[in-house]
Chains A and B, each alone.
Chain A
C-alpha cells in the first residue's frame, strides 16, 4: 500500500519570499515521486520528478525538491515566489506492484502569492 500526505491544504506567501510545500509519502516499494502544478482552469503540468538518481531534483520555473528517505519526505521549495506561481500543487507517488503501475496523488496544496 502507498499513500501521500500534503501537510498544508493552503499556503500563503508574499512575492519575493521563499516557498515551502510539504509532502510525506509511504510506500512498500521504491517509489518515483513527482510534483505537478495546476493553474486555475488548466490541466496538470510536471514540475519535477525523482527517480532514484540525485536526491536533490531541480525542476522548471526555479522549483526544486529534495528526496529524504529517512524522513519519507519530498518537499517542494523555491527561493523567491512570483505572482505566476499561484496555483495548486500536487505531490504524486508511483510504484510498480505485481507488474502494474500504481499512482497516488496527494490532496493538493493551494499556493497564494500576495503582492
Chain B
C-alpha cells in the first residue's frame, strides 16, 4: 500500500531534550516536506526537500533541522525543543513535479513540549 508513515504518532517531552520524528514514504517520491498545524494558522511549511541531499527552509524553520540521506526518509529533528513547538506535525511527499501533483500526507505526529 502506498503510504507515508510517521513515528511516533504521539510524543510528550520536556524542554531541551533532543528528539527526532521519522518520516518514510514508499512511493519513490522526490519531493518531501514537513508542516506544522496550529489552530487558526492552517499548515505552515517547516522544511522541504526536492531530492536526496537537497533541502531548503520553508516558512517556519527556526528550531528545526532535517536531513535527506535517502530518498524514502526525511526525519525532522528538534535539537532543543521548547513549549512553542507544541503542535501537530505532518510529513508529506509528492513526485518531482510537485507543483502539479498532489501531496500525500502522513497521519500526523502530535508533539507536546512541557
Interface residues of A (CB under 8 A from B): 6, 9, 32, 34, 42-46, 49, 51, 90, 94-96, 100-101, 103-108
Contacts and interface: CB of A to CB of B under 8 A. Distances in A.
A32 B99 contact: yes
Contacts, number: 52
Chain B interface size band reads: 20 to 34
B43 interface: yes
Contacts of A108: 42
Q: DSSP majority for the A interface?
A: strand
Contact of B106 (A43, A46, A51, A104): A43
Contacts of A94: 98-99
A90 B90 CA distance: 14
Contact of B90 (A9, A43, A101): A43
Contacts of A46: 102-103
A43 B99 contact: no
B66 interface: no
Contacts of B31: 101
A44 B41 CA distance: 15
B96 to A, nearest CB: 9
Contact of B56 (A32, A42, A100, A105): A100
A67 B56 CA distance: 30
A105 B48 contact: no
B93 interface: no
Nearest to B91: A43
A86 B3 CA distance: 24
A58 B79 CA distance: 43
